[in-house]
Amino acid sequence: MMEIKYPGSSKRSLIFAHRGANREAAENTRSAFECALAYAIDGMETDVQLSRDEVAVLWHDRFLNKLSGHENNHIDDYSYSELSAMDFAGHFGQGKTPESVMRLQDFLDAYRSRCRLLIEIKNRDWEARARHEIKVRQTLDMIGAPRGDAILVSSFDLPSLVYAQKYRAGFPLVYNLETEQTLAEAERVLSEHAFLHGLCLPITTLDESFVSVLRARGKGIAVYTCNSEEEIRKALDLGVDILISDLPQKALRMRDA
């Protein structure tokens, strides 16, 4: 379980870099992750999708619109070999060293010993459920046996987390809430799926009521994406376990002040 904090606790919120230091380098690339680790971050968040030939790779968006010539196409329209030939950093600015798509396995090999990880499985509505399950199995198999909460797996797709629990019981799984989802819905999900390690909430949704419900159930609280001083302060004041930010250096400075 995440270490539970209560109002007045001395335990600090953990600061996670959102897709690496994505304001300094192209998100979900090795450069972004290395930039993030130049700060005293506690962890990194990343996103997993599946190539056409079932290779787990890191990419967040629904489309490849950031990659010139591939607009309106999905990551799974291409094989891993085809994706490897594309420059996933070129959109970030001229003069950037080209970078190919990063495999989940390479990410784990490079960073699991250097910080905590939060891996979001992006299961999309256009994919067959069988591909959702392949993505879940690959992710959990690559991570291996859980070691506390050093590596968490999350998803907005609740059936994927239910499948993950059946496939690898006891793995720390986090359900991501959309902005429109209510406290009542969160309570229902936690009642029906007690295995969940916690919830990841949008900062606009987070309030004392959500915190109280989660703490009463002994669940962890992550929050996304805290970038403004107001958002970061709100998350810190409410004592979240994990604060996800595009500006981890700012969140670290505010937390440690």
Q: Distance between alpha carbon 72 and the CA centroid of its chain, in Å?
A: 23
d(CA 116, CA 245): 15
Render pLDDT for 12-52 as a digit per residue (tens, 0 to 9): 999 999 999 999 999 999 999 999 999 999 999 999 999 99
| Per-residue model confidence (pLDDT) at position 130 | 97
SS3 193: coil
CA distances from 194 to 34, 65, 169, 231 (A): 36, 38, 12, 29
Among residues 73, 51, 63, the alpha carbon closest in space to that of 138 is found at: 51
CB-hemisphere CA count at 13 Å for 112? 18
3-state SS of the chain: helix, strand, coil percent to 5? 35, 20, 50
Cβ–Cβ under 8 Å, residues 16 and 212: no
Q: Where are the domains positioned within the chain?
A: 14-256
pLDDT score at 5: 42
Q: List the chain residues with pLDDT less than 70.
A: 1-10
Handedness of CA 240, 246, 252, 257 (dihedral sign): negative
Taking the complete model, does pTM exceed 0.85, yes or no?
yes
- ∠ CA 16-18-19, rounded to 5°: 125
CATH topology of domain 14-256: TIM Barrel (3.20.20)
Neighbouring residues of 147: CB distance < 8 A, sequence distance ≥ 6: none
Residue 222 three-state SS: strand
pLDDT of residue 10: 42
Q: How far apart are CA 250 and CA 257, in angstroms?
A: 11
Q: In this predicted structure, what is the pLDDT of residue 147?
A: 86
Give the pLDDT confidence score for residue 215 in this predicted structure.
97
